[in-house]
Each structure stands twice: as C-alpha cells, then as structure tokens.
Amino acid sequence: MLAAARQRWLEATELVGNPSSLHSAGRAARRIVEEAREQIAEALDTRPSAVIFTSGGTESDNLAVKGLFWSRAATMGESATVIASGIEHHAVLDPVEWLEKHEGARVRWLQVDAAGRVDLEDLERALTADAVSLVTVMWANNEIGTVQPVAEIAALCRATGVPFHTDAVQALGQVPVDIHAVGASAVTLSSHKVGGPFGVGALILDPAVPVTPVLHGGGQERDVRSGTLDAPAIAAFAEAVHHAVQHQSLHAAQVRDLRNAMVAGVLASVPGAVLNGSDDLAGGGRLPGNAHFTFPGCEGDALLMLLDAAGVDCSTGSACTAGIPEPSHVLLALGVDEQTARGSLRFSLGRTSTQADVDRVIAVLPPAVERAARAGSARRRP
C-alpha cells in the first residue's frame, strides 16, 4: 500500500465509531468519510454527492450495469437493450451476460478495431436502432491497454439520453480521469489499483441518474448501496486517489519510457514477436505501463511458467473453464484466432519498475520463447 494511504488508514483506525451512528464517535467517523468523499470528488472534478462507496471495482461494475438496466428496463419492456464492448473486464461482461440470461436483456455487442478501439459509428447505429437501457465501455482495457474515446462515447450517449457507464479501474492514475469533462453517468473505481487498500472502491454516479440498488439494507450511500462503511479503508482510498491524480502525468511519462524501451527490446530480440493493441506508444491511446505481445508458436501458459522461474511476472489473460485454459476473450474480440491468442502475454510496468527490470525481461525472454516454441511444436507433432 502507498505509505501515505497506510498512514491515513492507521490514523482512522484509532476511531471506533460507525459512520451511520449519531453519537460523537459515529460523527467523527462520518467526518472522515465525508472528507474522503470531498477529496475524491475534487481529484476527479466531480461533486461529492456523486461518490458512492462500494467494496471495489467488481461491486461498482455490478451496481452500474444491473442498477442502470433495472431502473430503465421497467419502462422499456422486452426490447430493453444493453450496449457493451466485447473487451470488457469480467466484472462488466458477466453481469451483462447474466442480465441477458436471467432478466431478458437484449445485448448489442459493439464492434472494435484490431487495436481494441470501439467503432463510434457502430455505437451511433446501435443507439438509434434499439431501446437502450445503458451503454458500458471501459475507459482503458486491462489486457491490451487500449484507451477508449470515452468523451466521444459519452457525447453520443448524452445526445440520445442514454446513461453511459465506464470502468476506469485501469485508467485512474495512468491517464487523466476528469469526470466532469468526459460527462459519463457512472464511473467505476477501485482502490487497490492506485495503491490504496483492497476491498474498497467507488461508483461515481451522477445524482440525476436513477439506479436500482443491488444491495438493500440500512440505506447508506443515498439508499443506492446499503452496508456499514469502512471509514479507515475509505480514508486511505481517498489518499491513494489524490496521490494517483497528482502524480499521474509524471508517472505516465516515466513508465512510458520504460515500456517503450521494453517494447523495442522485445521486438528486436525475439523473432516473430508481435505487439498487440494500440501502436500509440507516445500518446494517450494506450496505457503507459502496458506491453502485450504474441509469440507465435508458443503456449502463453508454458512461457509464463518459464519466465516465472526466471523471476519475471507476467500474465496471459486466459481464464480457466473446467480446468482448461481458455484464450483471452479480449484477444478473440479483436479478431485474433485461438492459437495466436494462446501465445500471448501481458507485461505491466508500474510505480516500482526500473530499467533493470526491463533489461532482465529482454535478457531472459528470447531463450524462454525458444524453449516454449520447441515444447509447443513437439506437442503438435503427430
């Protein structure tokens, strides 16, 4: 955890009150929560009343997707449609599919280009053709790092009066996140992605946009999200958001230089390696710390294990279904074939990454790819 966030958490744990209680200990805890709400609102250029505290990104996504759908579907009947991109995180994708299966939602999946960018003309067509309950498109993708044109998407949604939800879990601290400027109706945030504690996050929700609660109970958080608030975690989360926003541009510049050195090194040292996602390595079209490659002929999982043994952490983005690794749904949505998707890996650079880390990857990757490719071709031999 970020040192300043941990300090704030420790200070707040000295208080014993429940922020919903009226006695003085409760009022002291309430003050901590309200100060945190104001700090987050100020960092993201939104109103404090828009900040709904939750248990994290997954809950915020579920609340936005289900809550916006339910609040509008009642008047739309069977034609109520959810518009979503196929490259969403499972915390969005699965609620959308759940609504389709259990609540009769129609789902319109948006086309994306080879870099994972949503096709705005396709969105325009979808918005006018259907009775749309909500549009959900993530601010930045967690696997390939593509940053979406969220301001343009929000403008199209506003023009048709449709609420727009965006998952900004990966974007916060990496690219500018100005909620007022973008004009989204609902924005998901998670604390642990910006150096705050696990198990806390927020949905920034325009107070004018009705949402049906997912959690019912004590009526906390404007009756949108019941449950006793964890004041110390919320205070630490606010500190982490403040820090992430204050240091975003410096952080992005540093990590982008390292990432670009790594991309150049990997492409030069591994024959056939392909960089996936946006080629906007200098600008804001790709998360600055994201590098995602395909190594043709390799199994990503085998390569991941070889790199792990060499002290390099990376991720395949594949999900296990019934014990069988499935290729990443994000890569499949980009039109990548299954075999290529299986040979793909993501490297993430962050606050603690150094040039020595990059040098290490460039040194250990070529022999690891060679070994993984040999193992792959031996397995494929009849």
Q: Using CB under 6 A as the criterion, which residues of the chain lie in contact with ligand PLP when the complex forms?
A: 56-58, 61, 89, 91, 138, 142, 167, 169-170, 190, 201
Cβ-based nearer residue to ligand PLP, 168 or 369: 168
Residue 201 CB, nearest approach to ligand PLP (Å)? 5
Q: Which of 334, 87, 103 is nearest to 95 (CA)?
A: 103
Residue 152 CB, nearest approach to ligand PLP (Å)? 20
Cβ-based nearer residue to ligand PLP, 39 or 290: 290
The residue nearest ligand PLP at its CB is 57
For residue 357, give Cα distances in angstroms to 259, 293, 350, 364, 365.
11, 17, 11, 11, 12
Residue 271 CB, nearest approach to ligand PLP (Å)? 31
Residue 175 CB, nearest approach to ligand PLP (Å)? 13
Catalytic entry in 157, 298, 314, 320: 320
Cβ-based nearer residue to ligand PLP, 93 or 358: 93
Q: b/e for 202-220, b at 16 or more Cβ within 10 A?
A: bbbbbeebebbbbbeeeeb
The C-alpha atoms of residue 274 and residue 341 are separated, in whole angstroms, by: 11
The C-alpha atoms of residue 201 and residue 197 are separated, in whole angstroms, by: 9
Q: In the annotation, is 320 catalytic?
A: yes
Query: To which H or E segment does residue 132 belong?
Result: strand 131-136
Structure tokens at 3: 């040192």
Backbone angles phi, psi at 91, to 5 degrees: -70, -15
Residue 224 CB, nearest approach to ligand PLP (Å)? 18
- Residues contacting 207, CB < 8 A, separation 6+: 47, 49, 50, 222
Residue 74 identity (one-letter amino acid): A
Cβ-based nearer residue to ligand PLP, 194 or 307: 194
Cβ-based nearer residue to ligand PLP, 57 or 289: 57
Q: Residues with catalytic annotation?
A: 320
